Structure 1
Amino acid sequence: MSLLAETTETAHHLEPLITDLGLILMTAGIAVLIFRKLKQPLVLGYLIAGFLAGNHFDFFPSVKDIKSVEVWAEIGIIFLLFSLGLEFSFKKLMKVGGTASITAGVQIISMCLVGYSVGQWLDWPKMDSIFLGVILSISSTTIILKSFDELGVKTQRFAGIVIGSLIVQDILAILMMVLLSTIAVSNQFSGGALLMSVLKLVFFLVLWFLGGIFIIPTVLKKTKHLLTDEMLLIISLALCLMMVILAANAGFSPALGAFIMGSIIAETTQAEHIEHLIKPVKDFFGAVFFVSVGMLINPDALYEHAIPVIVLSIVTIFGQSISSTIGALLSGQPLKDSIRTGMSLSQIGEFSFIIATLGVTLKATNTFLYPIVVAVSAVTVFTTPFMIKYSQPFSEYLAHKLPRKWTKRIERYSASTQAIKTVSLWQTVINAFLIQVIVLVVIILAIILLSSRFILPLVNDYHLGNTLGALIILVILSPFLWALAFRRVATAEVEQLMYDRKSRGPLTMLFFVRIVLSIFFIGLLLNIFFSPQVALIALIIAVVIYLIFQRKLHIQYHKIENHFLTNLNDREIAKAKRSRSDLSPWDGHMAFFDIAAESNIAGESLKDLQIRENLGINIVSIKRGEVMIHIPDANERVFPGDEVCVIGTDAQVQEFKKYLDQHEMDVSPEVVEPDIVLRQIELKNHVFHGKSIKESRLREKTKGVIVGIEKRGKRTLNPESNIILEKDDILWIVGDKKLLWDLVHD
């Protein structure tokens, strides 16, 4: 009887959590249908639906337990940032360059100052104003990328600047979350506390990244043949939650841990596959998060603070646009691209919610800030697609209306900025020196701290235990200590600088600093295990042994480094192998489209449609039910339900998509494994030398079509059949996979 009562009690205890989740999902489903029909951003629909389904309205079903909503919202944040990390990759930050860094930096600094000033003008407390400044400075990655996809501008130049800026913003947002946590907890602006928080963040970021890249890709590669999709999904989520626990125990936000693990997995060869598996989870918890955010809005607070919502919406739209435009101009971008970049970044989104939630959780901000932020986000989310859509005509209008003297100066500045983007020898050497020292110091310090916490208590009570423990740790540290002291960096640049007598002194100092650091860490470790006198003698012995075994330590360190670099670059190497057959000179690629039943080109022959002649695109296959027609001839017709595979540049594929849309086509690109492939072939076979493309009969031999040729560095797309083939020509051929393989290996 007691067991039954206990079971019933447990069921009643779980019920609000389950029923509230059901309400959240039902609300999200209705929002998806309505806002998809209205062609509006789904995030806006989730927010409004959650707002109406919250417990502030009696005429809608309401959540029973607001705590359960907060739990689902926190889980939503974790998986949302994990999926964002999967799309991020730390190496992307290294590639975005100065343009994105300057644009994002100017925007964030400007908006932090503007937000703080507006908060003070509204007579808000200082802490609320600080949080407001940070909240208004972070644009929405989710909304912008979704809008780019819907408007078809993702491949344009300004979009690259925007995406690079978003990457920098995301990193800075993580840093600012840590700083805000420190300020909120201490409730004071201590420079020393902030510096320690930054150093702690850098230490853990470097440590987690190095450890993650060294271990996780190796494990995934070794177990690849054992992993099913189900197992890979479970392992990925387990790794995410493991890092969430580590981050929380280290005193950071759980969202930071999820983001970092996503970024680590993004460097593996299975990143795309994992991203594909995670997508339903991300969509599920993303919907839960945004609906939960809407449920937490208090309409009374919105009514009471309607004026701040309107003011902050205007400040966000214009402030973000102007500051980002100025940042892009300062980085040397042309006027039109800068304006389009600024107008695209004119909103706040998911990170703003997270920072607002942080303020509420830490009790650092007043309760009215959260609903105001969500309302401002809803307004700016709604305006974003229109800002992006009309950015091009507005940029052209402004460029035409501005005084000619101004536009000339901007053009001159842009050209001169691009011209002076060179890196000095000293800059290269200092960068290499700092990267190596920071990485090695973090590794060495982490091992020493772990040994003092876990190894020392184990060996302290045993005779010679300290000696054995110190010896084991010194052996583990030895490759890293050798690298810190002696490994050469930027060798070519250092040799060039050594010719200049003035440079020899600073270079010698850099070398001396590294040796001193390595000796300091040896002494630090020995001092933990022994008394100072014994530690000094052991230090001398250890340094002598390290000098004797230099060569072996050099080999051992390079094995460790090569393993790390292999894991780090595996994804890019695999991607390069897959894309060797891409039409890289012209940015060409394959795309798949379905012919709709109501299409008015159905039944027409390729000869009559003149698609290649008018659009420059090649139709390389038609799939009709179970039948695949490779390299269809001019008399072949397209029919309803056909799947056509085309090949061309981004612009050509986009034009073809417009062409299909004009003829009322339902376009649904699919990822498939084609029987026909695109291959890049270097013409080494002398049989074809001196013959024209037509005489070589390459089309017949590969059941394909030659879509590109490079002769003596000059590239031609869709070459004529009378072009003579010569030695070392490079051909791009679309054809039967097996026949092309035979041709290459003949």
Structure 2
Amino acid sequence: MNHIVFEVGLAVALIALSGLIAAKLRFSVIPFYILIGMAVGPHAFKLWHLDFRFIESAELIEFMGRIGVLFLLFYLGLEFSVGRLLKAGKSIAVGGTIYILINFSLGLLLGLCLGFPVKEMLVIAGITTISSSAIVAKVLVDLKRTANPETEMILGIIMFEDVFLAVYISILSGLVLSDSSSIGGVLMSAGIALVYMLGLLIVGRKLVPLLNRVLNIRSGELFTIVIFAALFLVAGFSETIHVAEAIGALLIGLVLAETEHAKRIEKLIIPFRDFFGAIFFFSFGLSIDPLTLGGEAMWYALAAVIVTLIGNFIAGMLAGRTADLNPRASSNIGLTIVSRGEFSIIMANLGKAGGLLAILQPFAAMYVLILAILGPLLTKESKVIYLALNRLFKFESRHKKRLQRKRTTVTEES
């Protein structure tokens, strides 16, 4: 413990270095954070007689990573608005439903084909369903696609995923973290989780006028302490009733997003989200034994990547069609939201906390690494990919025929 401060400082320096390399290469930082964590984790090799492994500080860094998850989900709650989703229209709700159903069903089917038990199948489906909002948002900004016609659908699907994530983690945590093995006990835990989540949102919205007055604090120091107290108390209490602490953070974020202080809170949280969020990915890397990434974990991850690529492309084409987007814009949807990151890792950690099969963590690590690298590349080269696929499947000609049939129908009706 004598060198724990130095180890943490060195960890932050390594995170910063890997981030600078990622920025230089214009690539997502997430795989770099995970890889550097794996390289210096307790499971890494000694270099001759030198030992660079993070052993003494691993537990502290893991805790700091947990804090990173709370800030990531809390910030998402602050960004999310039910009103925005409703204003976006029916097409986003339909497109989001299509995306979730296709990817979740394929995830369950993958788990079944690989021979996993039911609980592990549900975790795998969660890992493969939710895209990384952090990577997707960064890619859209970097490639200057925020004004593209398909971007509204992409952002709408991401918001829809957030709603699904909140409900699904609540149910899954009740199932995985419950001490009861009976169906009744599991349903009871899941029911408590859902009632708690809905109750907190309903009561929180009712208390918005009171929260506006309570948070009307001039002192920046005191304002920060009050916000952090609310975040950690709600997240910590959530965990005691088998609701994932990350969802507790999301819920309190959703409540505070309704207040007139939301922008001030958001500005306060961003530096903590970035700092502790980076440590979260680094700490995940620390927990992975590189030797476990081969064998079954690698093959399972490759199978999951193939399933995800197919499922995302089909879901994107169908979602775009419901919004009357052209085939190329629709293909951009599926190719842009293919990246997986923080939420897949959260799902894997939930499986670990529930004592499920140990292979879930290396599987998720390999899966996230591949798609965190592949996702931005597919988005960048989406035009080339679409043109190649269009030669095979004739998307453009089918789209023109469909538009012609629609015009003919409208003419006949008039």
TM-score by length of 1: 0.50
Q: For residue 414 of structure 1, report the CA deviation from its aligned partner.
A: 8.4
2:360 counterpart of 1:373: no
Report SS of the residue matched to 1:348. Answer: coil
Residue type of the alignment partner of 1:168: F
Match runs of 1:172-191 below 5 Å? 172-184=164-176, 185=178, 190=183
| Partners of 2:406 and 2:68 in 1: CA distance | 42
| Partners of 2:386 and 2:254 in 1: CA distance | 35
| Partners of 1:187 and 1:257 in 2: CA distance | 22
Tell me the alpha carbon deviations over residues 83-115 of structure 1, each in whole angstroms, 9 at most, x when there is no partner.
121111333333343322222222222222222
**Mean CA deviation greater in 318-327 or 379-388:** 318-327
| Partners of 1:148 and 1:319 in 2: CA distance | 21
1:313–1:379 CA contact under 8 A, matched in 2: yes
Quickly say closer, same or farther: Cα 1:265–1:198, change in 2 above 3 A. Answer: same
2:21 counterpart of 1:34: yes
2:137 counterpart of 1:145: yes
Q: For residue 160 of structure 1, report the CA deviation from its aligned partner.
A: 1.0
Residue type of the alignment partner of 2:117: P
| Partners of 1:22 and 1:325 in 2: CA distance | 46
2:317–2:334 CA contact under 8 A, matched in 1: yes
Residue type of the alignment partner of 1:62: R
2:132–2:343 CA contact under 8 A, matched in 1: yes
Structure 2 match to 1:666: none
Residue type of the alignment partner of 1:157: P
Match runs of 1:59-458 below 5 Å? 59=47, 61-65=52-56, 66-184=58-176, 185=178, 190=183, 199-221=191-213, 224=216, 226-305=217-296, 306-330=298-322, 332-363=324-355, 365-395=356-386, 398=389, 402=394, 406-411=398-403
| Partners of 2:5 and 2:133 in 1: CA distance | 30
Q: Which has the higher contact order (CA 8 A, sep 6+)?
A: 2
Tell me the alpha carbon deviations over residues 246-286 of structure 1, each in whole angstroms, 9 at most, x when there is no partner.
32344311111111111222222222222112111111110
Q: For residue 157 of structure 1, report the CA deviation from its aligned partner.
A: 1.8
2:170–2:194 CA contact under 8 A, matched in 1: no
2:174–2:242 CA contact under 8 A, matched in 1: no
- Percent identical across equivalent pairs? 25
| Partners of 1:223 and 1:237 in 2: CA distance | 12
Two-structure CA RMSD over aligned residues (Å): 2.9
Q: For residue 377 of structure 1, report the CA deviation from its aligned partner.
A: 0.7
| Partners of 1:86 and 1:39 in 2: CA distance | 28
| Partners of 1:136 and 1:18 in 2: CA distance | 37
Please list every run of 5 or more consecutive structure 1 residues that lacks an aligned counterpart in the other structure: 1-11, 417-746
Q: For residue 362 of structure 1, report the CA deviation from its aligned partner.
A: 0.7
1:51–1:294 CA contact under 8 A, matched in 2: yes
Larger radius of gyration: 1
Give the number of equivalent residue pairs.
402
Report SS of the residue matched to 1:40. Answer: coil
Q: For residue 186 of structure 1, report the CA deviation from its aligned partner.
A: 6.6
Report SS of the residue matched to 2:89. Answer: helix
Q: For residue 312 of structure 1, report the CA deviation from its aligned partner.
A: 2.1
Structure 2 match to 1:590: none
Q: Identify, as 1 or 2, the structure richer in strand.
A: 1
Please list every run of 5 or more consecutive structure 2 residues that lacks an aligned counterpart in the other structure: 409-414
Residue type of the alignment partner of 1:39: R
Report SS of the residue matched to 1:157. Answer: coil
Structure 1 match to 2:411: none
| Partners of 1:189 and 1:386 in 2: CA distance | 46
Quickly say closer, same or farther: Cα 1:119–1:231, change in 2 above 3 A. Answer: same
1:104–1:324 CA contact under 8 A, matched in 2: no
| Partners of 1:253 and 1:31 in 2: CA distance | 30
